[in-house]
Amino acid sequence: MQDAEAGSALAALEVLLTDPSTAVLHPMLVTGSVVAGAESTLQDLVAFVASRDAELAARLRVEAGSSVATCSSGWTSRTWVAHVTAYLEAGRTQVLVGTRGLLGEGWNARGVSTLIDLTTATTLTAVVQTRGRALRTDPTWPDKVATNWTVVCVSEAHPKGDNDWSRLVRKHQGFHGIDADGDIVDGVAHIDASFSPFAPPPVASFDALNAQMLVTAADRDAIREAWRVGEPYDDVTLASLRVRLVTPALVPVDEVVTVVPVAPTWRLGPEGLATSVPLPDTSWRTPMALAAGAVGASAAATAAGPWALAAAGGLGALATLGQAVVTRRDHTSVLTEWVRAQVALTSCTPPLEAVAAAVADGLLAAGLTSVGSPALAVDVHPGGEYRFRLVGTETDAAVFATAFDEAIGPVGAPRYVVSRYTDASLPDGPIRTRRGARAALRAARATGEVWHPVPTVVGRNATLAGHYLAAWRTWVGDGRLLAAAKPEGAGVVAAVSGEDPFGATTVVRRTWS
């Protein structure tokens, strides 16, 4: 039995007629059994029909009711749908309430620019037919912009209070819209970036969300511009992973920064610490003097790659890297600080783009994608959000997004884990010679090991996992690969389960271009 509070088409019409802000739009209801509206609106409808079919209009009668009037005698739905549609297109009524079955497939009113979906239908056919009512082009209105709305009811006081949200998620699967950043994405995220397919937003946020949507929908010029109608497009939808770290990247306001993956310039392994960064020039014969730490983080990053930038934030100012020229008095200080700076890099979390490159190359080597790290696109958007995508086929992009999401996620129950060595130790005391600096690096030994999950798709067997390990060692650093099915691996997985080395919030988006 239907709840007394349940809505209906007639109830929707009554709300529109009793609200002064919508009553002026002369709303009407059309179903398979009735035409309804305000009495004055229906009298005007009869006059409109008379201009098209005088004999039909002579048979029509408007019957007043307690809340709405009806005009269902003298004709049938096969007849009245066409006349009411023409009445709508003439602008005599600006809101038409109808059932999906009556105004679905085959119904055409090109001037409709807004559709509000109150149905519970979620099938692909039903959703396409319903939204298509507003998406038709109008030759007399070349700048037409359509907006589609879905009304969702959510309750936090009922165990099934998110059922309607689940229906909304299903309705938006595979359907695209412009998100707040101007990207064309599918799923509920194009409604609002905070929307998740797994759970509705807090009810307390609904008023603010609704207000923002009304403002956005009212600016139809901005919507049309965002869609870039008439511009070239590739007609492909690629999955991408959006990542937000606890400490977001610093990027200029209103500017998207493209990041190129760079392999680390140092390597910490069983044979000590090796680095491709040249030793500083400590010649004392030149009167020019540069004290240790005089070069800032930006110069250090240029010399030592992206990992140096992360270390710079912790050290304040790195030791002089590159070809510094010093006096004899600063000779020992420069060498000592340079070695310490190299060691400090080993404790840094690897850059996301380095892990992404390892995932891309691991997938390619395993034969799971057709492209590798050269096809990796990494952008950092204002606010610090990273966006990673593999520019290949749609399958390549989807496989990469899922695998990369797992690679930087918390350790759960993977079949394999891979490590990276960290926190090299050095003997105390100053380093006085260049030979001593090299010897100190060779003597450095890792005091820590951080474990990361191997993505499921390359963790199916030892061969695939081996390809991933090779790519990991190229882009991230030396480490070990352990199978969770073996005693040592099982112990490691149990010990680090739940650990989240990157502390990142991630979401997969499918973007059309």
For the stretch 188-245, pLDDT in tens is: 888 888 888 888 999 999 999 999 999 999 999 998 888 888 889 888 889 999 999 8
**Predicted model pTM:** 0.74
Q: What is the reported pLDDT for 7?
A: 61
Q: What is the reported pLDDT for 333?
A: 84
Please name the residues in contact with 399: beta carbons below 8 A apart, sequence gap of 6 or more.
363, 368, 369, 390, 457
H/E stretch holding 61 reads strand 61-63
- Residue listed under structure tokens 């020229």: 325
Nearest Cα residue to 34 out of 85, 83, 98: 98
pLDDT single digits (tens) 365-381: 999 999 999 999 999 98
pLDDT single digits (tens) 285-309: 433 333 333 333 333 333 333 343 3
44-48, 285-289, 500-504: range with lowest mean pLDDT = 285-289
Stretch 165-185: mean pLDDT, rounded?
A: 86
Q: Is the pLDDT of residue 246 over 70?
A: yes
Q: What is the reported pLDDT for 320?
A: 35
Query: Whole-angstrom Cα distance, residue 420 to residue 480?
Result: 7
Q: Is the pLDDT of residue 324 over 50?
A: no
Question: pLDDT exceeding 70 applies to what percent of the chain?
Answer: 88
- Cβ atoms within 10 Å of 97's Cβ, excluding its own: 23
Domain map (residue ranges) of the chain: 9-227, 268-345
For 69, 288, 289, 290, 433, the CA distances from 330, given in Å and listed in that order, are 95, 11, 8, 8, 12
- Average pLDDT over the chain reads 84
Q: What is the reported pLDDT for 294?
A: 36
Residue 3: pLDDT band by 50, 70, 90 thresholds?
low
CA angle (323, 305, 425) in 5-degree steps = 85
Q: What is the reported pLDDT for 105?
A: 62
Count Cα neighbours of 282 within 13 Å in the Cβ-side half-sphere.
22
**How is 392-456 classified by DSSP, letter by letter?**
S-HHHHHHHHHHHHHHTS---S-SEEEEEEEEEE--SS---SHHHHHHHHHH-EEEEEEEEEPPG
Residue 121: pLDDT band by 50, 70, 90 thresholds?
confident
Question: pLDDT: is 324 or 454 the higher one?
Answer: 454
